[in-house]
């Protein structure tokens, strides 16, 4: 199983993902924003466009759903919380309900055999941030989703978010975690890659070091700011909304 990250050069800086089986060469497209970007990649890799999955209903995530489904042999999958979908015997996607950004939001956990390798996080978890809750969401639900579904994951699990807000998120993180030198290092890395039109992927372990919303669960960080995990998380979400 392989995943390709496709940057959609639009004002919202969307990422779309192509997940494909190395055995069948069938591909799942996640949240097709603009197929003019993703279809050439499918053709170049000689992959068969087969399945469509959405994380949630916002327009930038479903914009090209209908266009994708005009391709012969394609179908839209609607997975329920906890439901599994197999690309092959050893390649599967597990859907998990992850509310907060909006009430109806799904995340997709990617497994090679029994090993979780990555998560399509949609607008729930970003590089060094989390989704806003301004358009049908709930910050307390988002806190619970991050705590229960993401913070406990293994450090090597790769995060696949739906937008590139990395540099802005790092710059915000620095305002609430000013002594964190690892944030400085990531700012340098992300800035250097951006100049080349490239992007840096992170793991859950990386996020625990730099993402203030995951840092909220760090007991030493809580003591430093004299707030508990939930209060820290909600405070950071409020500050990020107006930053």
pLDDT for position 242? 92
Per-residue pLDDT of 156-181, as tens digits, reads 999 999 999 999 999 999 999 999 99
What span, in angstroms and rounded, lies between the C-alpha atoms of 235 and 162?
23
Taking Cα atoms as reference points, which of 166, 172, 170, 169 lies closest to residue 199? Answer: 166
pLDDT score at 113? 94
- The full set of domains in the chain, from first to last, is 2-242 (3.60.15.10)
> Residue 58: which of 135, 118, 149, 125 has the closest Cα?
135
Q: How far apart are CA 13 and CA 7, in angstroms?
A: 7
- Decide if 52 contacts 72 (C-beta within 8 A): no
Structure tokens at 18: 């192509």
Q: Which whole number is the average pLDDT over 53-81?
A: 96
Structure tokens at 31: 């949240």
In this prediction, residues 118-131 reach a mean pLDDT of 98
Q: Which residue's structure tokens are 């793991």?
A: 203
pLDDT digits (tens, 9 = 90+) for 185-213: 999 999 999 999 999 999 999 999 999 99
Among 177, 165, 168, 167, smallest CA distance to 214 is for 177
CA pair distance 221, 226, nearest whole angstrom = 8
Provide the pLDDT for residue 174.
Answer: 97
pLDDT band at 137 (very low <50, low <70, confident <90, very high): confident
Measured distance CA(99)–CA(96) in Å, rounded: 10
Q: What is the pTM of this model?
A: 0.95
pLDDT band at residue 136 under the 50/70/90 scheme = confident
Does the structure show a pLDDT above 90 at 144? yes
Q: How far is CA 67 from the centre of its chain?
A: 23
CA distance 122 to 13: 13
N-term to C-term CA, the chain: 39
> How many angstroms separate the CA atoms of 29 and 62, rounded?
11
Residue 218's contacts (CB-CB under 8 Å, 6 or more residues apart) are 208
Closest CA to 129 of 183, 50, 184: 183
DSSP state of 102: S
pLDDT for the residue 12: 95
């Amino acid at each position: 199983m392989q995943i390709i990250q496709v940057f959609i050069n639009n004002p919202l800086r969307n990422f779309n993902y192509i997940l494909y089986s190395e055995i069948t060469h069938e591909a799942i497209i996640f949240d097709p924003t603009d197929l003019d970007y993703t279809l050439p990649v499918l053709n170049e890799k000689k992959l068969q466009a087969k399945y469509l999955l959405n994380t949630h209903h916002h327009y930038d995530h479903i914009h090209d759903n209908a266009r994708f489904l005009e391709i012969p042999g394609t179908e839209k999958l609607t997975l329920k919380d906890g439901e599994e979908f197999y690309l092959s015997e050893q390649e599967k996607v597990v859907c998990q309900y992850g509310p907060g950004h909006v009430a109806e939001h799904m995340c997709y956990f990617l497994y090679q055999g029994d090993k979780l390798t990555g998560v399509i996080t949609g607008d729930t978890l970003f590089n060094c941030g989390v989704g806003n809750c301004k358009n049908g969401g709930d910050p307390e639900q988002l806190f619970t989703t991050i705590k229960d579904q993401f913070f406990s994951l293994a450090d090597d699990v790769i995060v696949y978010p739906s937008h590139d807000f990395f540099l802005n998120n790092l710059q915000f993180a620095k305002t609430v975690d000013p002594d964190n030198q690892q944030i400085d290092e990531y700012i340098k890395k992300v800035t250097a890659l951006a100049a080349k039109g490239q992007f840096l992927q992170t793991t859950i372990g990386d996020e625990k070091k730099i993402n203030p919303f995951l840092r909220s669960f760090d007991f030493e960080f809580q003591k430093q700011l004299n707030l508990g995990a939930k209060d820290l998380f909600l405070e950071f979400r409020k500050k990020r909304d107006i930053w």
